[in-house]
Structure formats: C-alpha cells, structure tokens
Amino acid sequence: MVAYEEAVKLAKGCWSEVDYVTEFPSAYMFSKFGDRRFDGNGLVVVLKDTGGCFNYVSFEMDEPDLTVLNESHI
C-alpha cells in the first residue's frame, strides 16, 4: 500500500507541477489546481496498491468506484 506522502513523490516524478490532490478509494489523482485537462500531463493518477503512475483516462476506464474521499492542495 502506497502512503499519501509517497504518492505525492511519485506524482511529482511524473509531472513536477502538480499541486492538488483528489483521493479515490483505490488511487490518488494529482493535478495543477484549476487546470484539469484530460490530455497531456493534465491529470496524474497514482494507484494506492502498486504505486503505478497513469493518465486519468486510463484509470477511469478500469475503475468501478470513483467516489471522491477527499480533495485538497498539496
């Protein structure tokens, strides 16, 4: 299980400009506050179970539970 602090490091490794997080049951989604584009670097997802770093669209297509647990600035 990937802790929040580790997920932030992983996300910043994929896109250093992330400054906002949305938590789902199985993942953290990182973005730049106010810039949630679905193309390019717009949204970075880090899976809680593996630490895998993905584009949001790839995550959304396979994720059955998109319940938002928390949202905040990093």
C-alpha distances in angstroms, 3 versus 16, 18, 20, 38, 54?
18, 17, 16, 25, 17
What's the pLDDT at 25? 96
Which of 45, 38, 10, 3 lies closest to 24 in space, CA to CA? 45
Domain locations along the chain: 4-73
What's the pLDDT at 36? 59
pLDDT averaged per 10 residues in sequence order, the chain, 74 residues: 96 91 95 66 87 86 90 94
What's the pLDDT at 5? 96
